Amino acid sequence: MESERNITSAIQNMTVAEVRKSLAFMRKEWSKHSRVMPFFPSQTLPNSNMMVSDFAFRFVMGHHHKRHQRANE
């Protein structure tokens, strides 16, 4: 019998839905970037006071931590 996965956020104090919305925002902004309209990692995420660069770092580190935690179970 398969065990059910408990879906948890990769970023502490953010829900899974908030993380997904932030990732969608970053993808959308990146797709619009050009020489005239560059992508600024220092911009703030909507509905948050977190910068894109801070979110990206926390997401990568949180995801990495979760993967290693699962591997050690």
Label residue 55 exposed, middle or buried (CB < 10 Å: 0-12, 13-18, 19+): buried
Residue 2 lies in a domain: no
Q: What pLDDT is recorded for position 3? A: 62
Q: How many domains is the chain built from?
A: 1
Helices (H), the chain: 16-32, 52-71
Q: Is 35 helix (H, G, I), strand (E, B) or coil?
A: coil
Predicted TM-score (pTM) of the model is: 0.80
Residue 4 lies in a domain: no
Q: What pLDDT is recorded for position 52? A: 97
**Structural domain span for residue 66:** 16-33+40-71
Residue 59 lies in a domain: yes
Distance in angstroms (rounded) separating the CA atoms of residues 54 and 41: 8
Query: Residues of the chain whose pLDDT is less than 70?
Result: 1-3
Residue 26 lies in a domain: yes
Q: What pLDDT is recorded for position 2? A: 55
Residue 46 lies in a domain: yes
Residue 11 lies in a domain: no
Residue 29 lies in a domain: yes
